[in-house]
């Protein structure tokens, strides 16, 4: 029986962008399916990783962050994914973008299209994914009614949806984006980031 994995994501994360593309060959190779789960990585950091946002803002020119950006550029080249990062909207407040994603969660193929378009808009074209008009345009470009989605993204049910997904991810051990959950034995394994995709492949192939 093929496994079904869950991929919790935030559109603001460059490592999530890379993993979104790099996990596809693994799914094809193993026959596993994926459920894309939008959450708010800022909400995760606020609860379990409070030091991260401060270090990102205050230490961006430190040796560690320079190495991280170099690694990101190398992974981008290796993965053949165009990334112009960081851009003028870094760090991105992604709550509006992730609410748009929550609207689409029950339609997984359409959500995947919106994710692809959103990642390209932010990381390639340096657009602001916290601007509802930008999000509406992205939605229109993939055949959705972006203007209708704008008020829907402000509805309490959509806000509750995003909060519930974020709380669920935290309760299962998530501390950043992407958080990838793979069934393993009688439980599950959590893998974080793009670099751990080889372990995701390994875990999928375990009985």
From 86, 201, 76, 100, select the one nearest 148 (Cα to Cα). 100
So what CATH class is 4-204?
Answer: alpha beta
Q: What is the DSSP string of 62-131?
A: SHHHHHHHHHHHHHHHHHT-----S-TTPSP--HHHHHHHHHTTTSHHHHHHHHHHHHIIIIIT---TT-
Give the H or E element holding residue 17.
Answer: helix 14-30
Sequence ranges of the domains in the chain: 4-204
- Across 44-53, 60-69, 113-122, 175-184, least confident range: 44-53
Q: What percent of the chain is modeled with pLDDT above 90?
A: 83
pTM: 0.92
Q: What pLDDT is recorded for position 60? A: 62
Let me know: does 152 contact 46? Beta carbons within 8 Å.
no
């Amino acid at each position: 029986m093929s496994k079904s994995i869950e991929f919790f994501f935030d559109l603001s994360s460059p490592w999530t962008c890379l993993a979104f593309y790099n996990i596809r060959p693994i799914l094809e190779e193993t026959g596993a399916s994926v459920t894309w789960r939008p959450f708010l990585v800022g909400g995760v950091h606020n609860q379990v990783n409070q030091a991260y946002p401060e270090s990102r803002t205050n230490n961006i020119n430190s040796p560690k962050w320079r190495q991280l950006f170099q690694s990101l550029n190398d992974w981008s080249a290796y993965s053949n994914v165009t990334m112009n990062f960081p851009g003028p909207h870094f760090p991105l407040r992604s709550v509006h973008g992730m609410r748009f994603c929550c609207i689409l969660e029950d339609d997984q193929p359409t959500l995947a299209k919106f994710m692809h378009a959103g990642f390209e808009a932010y990381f390639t074209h340096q657009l602001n994914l916290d601007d509802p008009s930008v999000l509406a345009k992205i939605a229109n470009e993939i055949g959705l009614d972006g203007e209708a989605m704008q008020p829907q993204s402000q509805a309490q049910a959509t806000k509750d949806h995003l909060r519930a997904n974020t709380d669920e991810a935290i309760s299962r051990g998530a501390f950043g984006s992407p958080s990838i959950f793979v069934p393993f034995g009688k439980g599950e394994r959590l893998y974080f980031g793009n670099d751990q995709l080889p372990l995701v492949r390994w875990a999928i192939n375990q009985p």
